[in-house]
Amino acid sequence: MKTILVFAGTRPEIIKMAPIVRELHARQGSQTNRQDAWQAHFCFTGQHDQLARPFLKYFDIEPDSWLEIMESGQSLGQLASAAIAHIDALIEKHPDSCAALVQGDTTTAFIAALSAFYHKIAVGHVEAGLRTSKIDEPFPEELNRRLITRVAKWHYAPTEAARTALLREGVASESILVTQNTGIDSFLWTIAHPHKPISVYLAGLDGKRLVLVTVHRRENIGAPLDRIASALTELSREFKDIVFVLPVHRNPEVSETIRTRLGGIHNIRLAEPLAYPDLVWTMKNAELILTDSGGIQEEAPSLNKPVLVLRDETERPEAIDYGTSFVVGSDTARVVGVAREFLTGKRKLTLRGTSNPYGDGRAARKIVDHLLSRVSL
């Protein structure tokens, strides 16, 4: 029996791979021709480990294997070394593998693609073709996704802009399929299942003015994060009637700065990482979002929410063109100034489209259709 390997290990990866895993499982269960039988093997690589596990439960996808590769204080080199050893060993246990699916731009996604390539297994890259102009921004994700492109056989691009970026780099047109984004599959699935928040950190917020803030990117650690904290301090003092909800990432370099600089401010609510339905509820009820997350930039157009991107560049220009994203970087004055315009009503969204440019909820089906038509079963 042939095996299709699926890798995910962070919260964003699980959000975006869950629809594919469910689609594969549904089709696996409906197989009638045993001669061409195949199975999907979902490997949780564990790059976010404890943070990601609730997402596995929520989306009802149980990994077939779990890797334990994370250690406290681990460098990127140590992470890559541990990942390639564990993933290589996993692949050797499945010599009948005919394809491997990886998503996005994490270090473990690149290592999984590289390991599959070493074993001459065809690699499918979900969310292929996202690019910024600098190889180190975001760091190390921009390099990771460019490297995955070099070893992938099938490139599942979420947008035409991503397809164009791949063509510029010499990727053959016939190996690219524009699918839209599987993260929107999960987002719309969640929106369709009404949910009341269960996190204690969201208690009593129903009906209040809210701003959602998320920040975790490596390039924002240090001075940029200090400037962002200064901006949030200034905004919280100016807009005392607004609650700023900030789920604190568990990376100590992020959490120590956030808790030291913003802890104790009465209308900044520092929360533990939120379960996905709670995060979606907060997005839905916020009037403004400040983030360096890529996934939130993709999801916000479905809610027509303004997003201030706390980065100097974004690989998601479609959200800017649509009218929901605004790149403000980490400069304190710029963050405060643009946020103030939205919170006082001086600036409003001007949408240049009628639907989310990243998807309509059918991306996973397109990917699985293509994959099963191409693999040697």
216 flagged as catalytic: yes
**Catalytic pick from 25, 249, 334, 365?**
249
Which residues have CB under 8 Å from 361's CB, separation 6+?
A: 184, 185, 188, 189
127 flagged as catalytic: yes
155 flagged as catalytic: no
87-123 burial, b if ≥16 CB within 10 A, otherwise e?
bbebbeebeebbbbbbbbbbbbbbbbbbbbbebebbb
163 flagged as catalytic: no
Strands, E assignment, the chain? 2-8, 38-44, 65-66, 97-103, 122-126, 154-157, 176-178, 209-214, 242-247, 268-271, 288-291, 307-309, 325-327
Q: What is the DSSP string of 185-240?
A: HHHHHHHTS------GGGTT-TTSEEEEEE---GGGTTHHHHHHHHHHHHHHHH-T
Q: How many angstroms separate the CA atoms of 227 and 324, rounded?
A: 23
Tell me the three state secondary structure of residue 304: coil
- Is the preceding omega at residue 138 within 30 degrees of 0, hence cis? yes
**Catalytic pick from 141, 185, 219, 318?**
141
**Catalytic pick from 13, 105, 219, 298?**
105
Which residues have CB under 8 Å from 324's CB, separation 6+?
A: 297, 300, 301, 304, 305, 306, 307, 349, 351
Tell me the three state secondary structure of residue 178: strand
| Other Cβ atoms within 10 Å of 334 Cβ, number | 16
Q: How many angstroms separate the CA atoms of 273 and 53, rounded?
A: 12
**Catalytic pick from 25, 27, 209, 218?**
218
Tell how far CA 215 is from the center of its chain. 13
**Catalytic pick from 127, 142, 219, 299?**
127
Q: How many angstroms separate the CA atoms of 1 and 37, rounded?
A: 6
Alpha carbons within 13 angstroms on the beta-carbon side of residue 78 total 7
Contact yes or no for 124/28 (Cβ under 8 A): no
**Catalytic pick from 86, 216, 217, 269?**
216
Q: How many angstroms separate the CA atoms of 298 and 85, rounded?
A: 33
Annotated catalytic residues are 105, 127, 141, 216, 218, 249
